[in-house]
Amino acid sequence: MAWRMPAETAPHDRIWMAFPREGEVMGDSSAARESTYAAWVSVAHAILPFEPVTMVVDPSELARARRLLDPAIELVDAPLDDFWMRDIGPTFVIDDDVNTLGAVDWIFNGWGDQGGSFANDARIARLVAEGAGATIVSSLLVNEGGAIHVDGGGTVLVTETVQLDPQRNRYATRETVEAELARTIGAHHAIWLPRGLTRDYEPLGTRGHVDMVAAIASPGVLLLHQQGDPGHPDHAVMGEIRAAVEASTDAAGREWRIIELPAPTQVRDDEGFVDWNYVNHLVVNGGVIACGYGDQAADARARGLLGEAYPGREVVTVDAREILARGGGIHCITQQQPSVPVPVPVPVPGPAA
C-alpha cells in the first residue's frame, strides 16, 4: 500500500475526541475538574455545526458525557488513561491508488516514558481505526500525532527533541525516522525543527510537539507562533525555529511564505511562563476552531490572520485556557478522519450505431 497523510485542510468524515476522566491531569480541585469537562465539551460543540464528532469515553464517565454532550455526538465506550486524542489516537492516511482509509498505530509510551500507566491509551489507536473501518498500519516508531504536521504533498514538520528523544526512540537517527515517516504517512521531505516551547519541557510535557509552534496552512504557506515579549524565553526559541524554517523549502522546492501569529499579551500564570499560542488550532470542514485566551484584541487579531490563511472558512474562537493549563490545546484534543475520495466512473463507449 502507498499511504499518504492528507493535509488537515482536506475534507473530513468526522473529528475524534476523548472525554476527560478523573486523574492527575484534571487538577486538584472540583472547580478545576468542572472547568476541564466544560472546555472539552465546548470544543466538541464548536465542531459539531461543521462535521460529525465521535467521542471515546471511559466507562466511569459515560453518565456525565451523556448529560453534558449534545446527543448528536456519537459516544464510544472504552477504558482511557488520559484524553489527548491527537496523541493516543491513530494518524489517518489514505491510499490514493485504491481509495482506502488507513490508520497508523504509532507506539505510545506516555510522551517519552515519563511515568504512570498508559496501557489503555496505547490501545486506543486500534480501537479508533476499527471504528472508522480503516486498515491498521502498524509502526515501531514511538510518536504522537501532535509531533508531526504535513502539507499532504510530501512535507512533514518534526522536532529533534521528540522523534530523536532517547526515551522514545533510543536508537533512532534522522534517516531511520524519515524512512518510517515515508512508509507510514507518505512524507518524503522532513523539516527538522530544533525544539518546542519552553513549558513543553516541564514534567509531563511533550518535550517539543510541533503543533504548538508551526502549522502548514496551504502549500508553501507556514503559520508560525510569535512571542513578541523579549522577556519570555520563547522569544528566543521562536527565533531558532524561524531560522530553521527559513533555511528550508517544502517538498516541491518552494520557499516558505511565513505568517506569524502573535501570542496574547499575558506571559505568565501561577506556574510560570505560559505557552499560549494560536498555532494550535483545528481545521474543520468549512471552518477553523481557534484557541482563545480572554484577550479580546489578540484573539480577534488571530481570527483575522487565520481567516486570511484559510480563505472561505469561518473562524470560531473557543476559550482554551483550561486546555492549555492541562498541557495542550484544541489541536491536541482532536483528530481528523479524512474523507476517502470516491472514484469517478469512466464512461464506457457503447456500440457504434
Give yes or no for residue 297 having a pLDDT over 60.
yes
* Number of other CB atoms surrounding residue 346 within 10 Å: 5
What pLDDT is recorded for position 219? 98
Global pTM value? 0.96
The pLDDT tens digits for 101-129 are 999 999 999 999 998 889 999 999 999 99
Q: What is the pLDDT of residues 188-208, one digit of tens each?
A: 999 999 999 999 999 989 999
Question: Residues of the chain with pLDDT > 90: what percent?
Answer: 92
Does residue 353 carry a pLDDT above 60?
no
Identify the band that residue 74 occupies on the pLDDT scale cut at 50, 70 and 90: very high
In the predicted model, what is the mean pLDDT of the chain?
A: 96
Catalytic residue numbers read 332
Phi, psi of 278 (to 5 degrees): -105, 0
pLDDT attached to residue 232: 98
The average pLDDT across 219-244 equals 98
Q: pLDDT-based confidence at 291, cuts 50/70/90?
A: very high
Which domains, ranges and CATH numbers included, belong to the chain? 3-338 (3.75.10.10)
The Cα–Cα gap between 274 and 270 comes to 9
Contact 33, 27 (CB under 8 A): yes
Determine the 3-state secondary structure of 303 from DSSP.
helix
C-alpha–C-alpha distance, residues 102 and 183, integer Å: 12
| Position 187 pLDDT exceeds 70 | yes
**Whose grid coordinates read 491498521?**
136
Confidence of residue 162 (pLDDT cuts 50, 70, 90): very high
